[in-house]
Amino acid sequence: MQQRDRGPVVRDRRRSTLPRWVGVGAVAMVLALPAVVVPPLLPRAELVALLRGAGIAGIGFAVLAGLGRLQLSRRYRTAAALDRALTELAEAHAELGRRQSFTDALLETIEVGIVSCDADGVFVVSNRAERAMFGLATGLEGLGPEDLPSLIDVFDTTGRNLSASEYPLMRALRGEVVAHEDVLVGPVGGPWREIVVHGSQIVAADGTVLGAVAALTDVSAERAARRALAEERRKLAEAQELGQLGGFEYDMPTGRWTFSDELCALWGVHPGRLSAARCFALVVDDDLDRIRATWDAIAVIPGRHTDEFRIRRASDRTERVIRARTEILVDADGVPSRIRGSHIDITDVAVAERAARRANAFSDAVLAASPDNTLVTDVATGAILFSSPGKRLLGMRTETFTNVPVDTLAEHIHPDDRERLSVVHAAARELADGESRHLRYRARDTDGRWRWLDHTATPFRRDATGAVVEVLAVLRDVTDVVEAEEQLTHAAHHDNLTGLPNRAFLLETLEGALARSRVDGRDVAVLFCDLDGFKEVNDTGGHSAGDAVLRETAQRFREVLREGDTVARVGGDEFVIVVEPWKRADPGPSLPAGESARALAVDVAERLTRAPQKPITVRGLDHVVRASIGITYATLDPAGAPASVTVDEVLHRADGAMYRAKDRGGSRYELDDTAPW
């Protein structure tokens, strides 16, 4: 296909206006530059800065392009039109900032660290929690992975310092699975925090990688508590294993005492030199009267007795805790005649028990303070055996989970996620100790709302054969994180004013449509629409009226289109519609094969032309706009094979047809006469 030569007059006109549009472009870029350069210096999450810079730059280029394409119209040659366009640009800048304030506040409020990068690996989002974890005063926005080694340390579980390309976020960007990964992070040289990272790639509908996002959870306190508890339990076991035992015997008729060598060593006395009087002398004063009274009482009571007391060991004067087990034996007449017993040094055990009690209390406090809920599930029945007390999950108190039937709990899981959750628990039974499986799924709370839960499962207890019989799961409500990710994705692909897809979304959609057209050998219709009379709306009602008209017009366009069609706002009052007939439930007019796409595009254009004709009332004032539409196709070549055409070429042809519709009076559509028919 060749573009028709419009003649030397048009070419001379374009050359004469070139300096003017270069100047306009420079002004637009100067207006956009502060939105890109200044926000990274602000003390707030820099997501707003990136979106604002990208949005303003895009609006600036759109206005520049629009002005360039409208240079044939006299009203856009005036200085007043340029001033209005620049004013619209500044107001759009302010509106974008207001609409992004919610996302900014959300990211700065949640306790989970959030980092995100674009497709080139440049960081575009960080929040307060992430800065605290890394020990940074400012965020990472605008930095590439190569800039981070001089600012932060990132180690894996073996203590190896990771290179920038090995960071979990960079691996997620490459499409690798990043789920429940443990890293140690902090400023260069420390202190470091233990962090669990979950990351995922952000992919467009057509498979284009847009970037990556990662959620960071600080588990330093929890891990420290677990290590302390394990250490105290080890000490307790060692104390029990190393405890010494000594025996004694007392013959009551003869008054003769016998002490074993082990018992003498326990009291710190040389063998053969221990006596009852020496024992009482070594008892701590605070326990002496009680021990004397206890001995006098049990000496006449047949049976076994147990008591504990403290002594000052003779050899080193250290205080030890002794547990005495005593048995009173009787003669044939039932009269007590002999006493035998044992002493065991339980000092280490007592100390370990006190430490274990402190550790358990600390562990309970950590579990109570942690946002996570810990469950222990029976593998055979699926019943919950333990749940962290004092918390709420899905609107229920977590300690009540153990009383809820398994079938009732399963009803809270989203039907699409139940099988996936079963697979994770089945896989956990096959894991080695210390390994885990992760899943994010939906569950309904008691108010009927769907919440997102982060679920990590690991083996907890095994039977004598080594088979896992109980699984431990850690759950966290991550609805805020998921919604933040969805808002980031939506904001990157939609127009804030009308809610329609934006130019970036359109380009991805059209690229995918052209690819399908080449595979399927079918036409794709593209309609370029510009509103006639929109300038008068802004002149008479102000820009707020213009915004209202754009929103209402966008809604009317949506109403006349059918499922499968795409309408996007690509400029101030410019819209593009993509029609793929074979994707529609209703293919439109009944026409011969090969003609349906073109006839359907005409039918769509006629409906779009009629849609805005009804007056739009804003603050009591009626406004009327009309639509000039240009239609083109990604067509087939004469041999029936799909012609090679690019997105820019299709949009350029549709734009040219739209200007012919304007030149012929507007409120109509024109077909692209440069395409083969």
Domains of the chain are: 1-105 (no CATH), 110-218 (3.30.450.20), 244-345 (3.30.450.20), 372-482 (3.30.450.20), 494-677 (3.30.70.270)
Structure tokens at 28: 């637009």
Task: Say what the pLDDT of residue 666 is.
Answer: 87
Give percent above pLDDT 90 in the chain.
Answer: 27
Give which of 426, 401, 274, 251 is closest to 339, Cα–Cα: 251
E-only strand ranges, 315-372: 319-330, 336-345
Q: What does the pLDDT look like over 372-405, one tens digit per residue?
A: 788 888 888 888 888 777 777 888 887 777 777 7
Please tell me the least confidently modeled range out of 118-132, 200-214, 220-234, 651-665.
220-234
Task: Say what the pLDDT of residue 99 is.
Answer: 65
pLDDT band at 319 (very low <50, low <70, confident <90, very high): very high
Sign of CA dihedral 651, 654, 655, 656: positive
Query: Do the beta carbons of residue 436 and residue 425 sit within 8 Å?
Result: no
Between strands 669-671 and 626-634, the pairing is parallel
Task: Say what the pLDDT of residue 368 is.
Answer: 61
Q: Above 70 in pLDDT, residue 413?
A: yes
Mean pLDDT, all residues of the chain = 79
> Which H or E element spans position 203?
strand 193-203
Structure tokens at 616: 């739009």
Give which of 412, 573, 393 is closest to 475, Cα–Cα: 393
Q: What does the pLDDT look like over 110-156, one tens digit per residue?
A: 788 889 999 999 998 888 888 888 888 888 888 988 888 888 899 99
Q: Above 70 in pLDDT, residue 68?
A: no
pLDDT band at 7 (very low <50, low <70, confident <90, very high): very low
Q: What does the pLDDT look like over 39-50, one tens digit per residue?
A: 443 344 444 444
Q: Above 60 in pLDDT, residue 499?
A: yes
Q: Above 80 in pLDDT, residue 57?
A: no
How many angstroms separate the CA atoms of 172 and 142, rounded? 19
Measured CA angle at 605 (ends 602, 608), to 5 deg: 155
Q: Above 70 in pLDDT, residue 51?
A: no
Measured CA angle at 314 (ends 312, 317), to 5 deg: 50
How many angstroms separate the CA atoms of 195 and 154, rounded? 10
Place of tokens 């769509």: 604
Structure tokens at 416: 């699409």
Give percent above pLDDT 70 in the chain.
Answer: 78
Query: Do the beta carbons of residue 443 and residue 394 sit within 8 Å?
Result: yes
pLDDT band at 24 (very low <50, low <70, confident <90, very high): very low
Q: Is 59 helix (H, G, I), strand (E, B) or coil?
A: helix
Give which of 183, 175, 196 is closest to 456, Cα–Cα: 196
Give which of 209, 218, 40 is closest to 114, Cα–Cα: 218
Structure tokens at 581: 């007939």
Task: Say what the pLDDT of residue 320 is.
Answer: 92
Task: Say what the pLDDT of residue 555 is.
Answer: 92
Choice between 400 and 543, residue whose per-residue pLDDT is larger? 543
Residues 6+ apart with CB under 8 A from 114: 107, 125, 126, 127, 129, 130, 213, 214, 215, 216, 481, 484
Task: Say what the pLDDT of residue 675 is.
Answer: 57
Stated pTM of the model: 0.40
pLDDT band at 12 (very low <50, low <70, confident <90, very high): very low
Between strands 524-532 and 626-634, the pairing is antiparallel
Place of tokens 């519609």: 577
How many angstroms separate the CA atoms of 407 and 421, rounded? 14
pLDDT band at 19 (very low <50, low <70, confident <90, very high): very low
- Type of residue found at 285: D
Q: Above 50 in pLDDT, residue 88?
A: yes
